Amino acid sequence: MKRQRNSRSKLLIFTILLLTFALIIGVYYAIKENDSEQTPAKESPMITNPSGKKIVDPNKDQTSSLVKLVEETFSLSKVGKVPNISFVSGKTEWKEVNQEWGKSDHISETAKGRYEEYESHHATIGYADNTVNDIRSYDSELQNISLNEIKKTGGEPDDIRYFKDSTHDQMILVYHATTSTDLLWVLPIKTKQEPNPKVDHISLYTQVKKTPNQEAQVEKELNQQGNQTISEVISKMSLDDKIGQMILAGISGTTIDANAKKLISQFHVGGIIFYKNNFETPAQTIQLVNQLKSGNSSSLPLLLSVDQEGGRVTRLPGGLVNFPPNKQIGQVNNPEFSYKVGTLLGKELKEFGLNLDFAPVLDINSNPNNPVIGDRSFGNNPEIVSKLGTQTMKGIQSQNVIPTVKHFPGHGDTSVDSHLELPIVNKSLEELKKLELIPFEHAIDHGADVVMVAHILLPQLDKTNPASMSKAVMTDLLRKQLRFKGVIITDDMTMGAITEHFDIGEAAVESVKAGSDIILVGHDYNNVVKITSSLTTAVQNGEISEQRLNESIERIIQLKRKYSINDMKVENPNINEINHSINSLLNNYLH
């Protein structure tokens, strides 16, 4: 009996110990779980790189939030907005800003429009008339973003500008958010001490119509062109209008004289070519360009062109820093450098209100005795000329300026200057294909829009006519074999290669019959009169069909529409900004 009681006592003690142990374990895990709920374990923040792939960011959460802010800024810019501001660039009106934010702290008037500052919102709002066209944000979060973070998300900018005054020395990264809106990141200039500067502010700038006159002009162009098919536009054009569009004419002097007025009001020429003697100063050049635009009576805007190649062929005034000749660019042999040179050539033209550059030169400098090409060529290697020439072309296109590849089918192997006489290149088509044609074919395959045809005689292709008047060269070779669908323009028909051997009126007729779209008449108003008369007579007597003219007019209108050519006036160019860009580029690649 006693032994039985001892067994029960032992069992009871064991049970109590077991329950106590279980209770301790339970309390321990309850406390641990409670701690884990209050302080969750940190996870490495996840971010998305530009390709969309998720990666682990080893830095703190701030880096992740900045990346998200950069992504948000790029994303919002596409709809005209910036972070933390509800207004839409290009759409919101002044009264809406005034209703939401009240009266501004400060107003300033500039050449570009009116700017109103709101200190409490860390923002400045710019207006064209009463429409918001520039939203500048000085948000403190944006000011934590660095140069590297911008490029990591947005890639390389479409353009880089510079601004310097007594208190600022800034670089401006420009990204095209839409066709009319740019997102600008404004930062201090990079230095050795600070190679990765942080944002000062951002600007979302939209090109909007500014004045009633400009609005009326744009509306006129839209009504006359944009809302109609090309065939509808052509159907409303007279014979004089069509022939005028196929002429690109030079003018005399630095102001609009009576003859220049007749070219744009009576002959309705499709465009103007400028030479160095037309330009004295930037202000005079802008005045001349704007007068021509406002005086244009055609329903189609003017092509405003110039030979701005760099090297020894430059036309623009104002002390612009010159580019090295193409020969030196060919020796550097860097496609990125060539692209950036093209970009700045395009920017130069755009700043002066011009829209067509007779560049780049795609001639291969295969003849050391060549008196006209020489260092204007990228070199004697067809691959280098093809690669660098096409990149220069693309750089010009990036500024919405039309490049022209020249001088088809190749002016490199001549020993005569076509400005003075008619050069002869005695090569077969097979020989041309192995050398001269390579860069042109490459450029055409990569989106060339305009080809200039040279005044050179190729007897093995056409015994009688130079290339600029030859069906074998322009239609059979350029159109059919190389499949070029853009605009064909002749070299200047007032050059000795033509005038010493042909009547200029008859030469123009033969050129159009052979396949050219635009006749370039660089000098002398009377030459335009003669060519116009000869072409009119040729159509009236059936030598040239009106359908043949319509084919050229269609290509010309397509070109003008593709590049959004318009007759809106422009403001004075910023020469210092362009020169800063050119110097920076040359320092990076040549020193």
Q: Environment class of residue 224 by beta-carbon count within 10 Å: exposed (0-12), middle (13-18) or buried (19+)?
A: middle
Residue 425 in contact with residue 375, Cβ under 8 Å?
A: no
**CA distances to 196, 361, 405 from 437, in Å:** 45, 13, 12
419 as an active site residue: the answer is yes
DSSP tag of 243: H
Q: Which amino acid is at 497?
A: A
CA 480 – CA 367 distance, rounded (Å) = 28
CB atoms within 10 A of CB 167: 5
Active site residue 591: no
CA pair distance 393, 560, nearest whole angstrom = 17
**How many other C-beta atoms are found inside a 10 Å radius of the C-beta of residue 184?**
20
Across 52-122, the runs of DSSP E, i.e. the strands, are 54-56, 106-110, 113-118
From CA 440, how far away is CA 310, in angstroms rounded? 20
Query: Of all helices (H) and strands (E), which one includes residue 561?
Result: helix 546-562
Residue with tokens 């820093």: 321
Q: What is the DSSP string of 429-496?
A: HHHHHHTTHHHHHHHHHTT--EEEEP--B-TTT-SSS-GGG-HIIIIIIIIIIS---SEEEESPTTSH
What's the CA gap between 439 and 446, in Å, rounded? 11
Q: Tell me which of 159, 462, 491, 517 is the catalytic residue.
A: 491
What per-residue string of b and e applies to 10-31 under the rule 16 or more CB within 10 Å gives b? eeeeeeeeeeeeeeeeeeeeee
Q: For Cα atoms 515, 520, 524, give the angle at the middle one, nearest 5 degrees.
A: 140
Of these residues, 419, 446, 523, 524, which one is catalytic?
419
Task: Name the packing angle between helices 437-445 and 382-398 (round to 10°).
Answer: 40
Q: Is the dihedral of CA 319, 325, 331, 335 positive or negative?
A: positive
Active site members: 419, 491
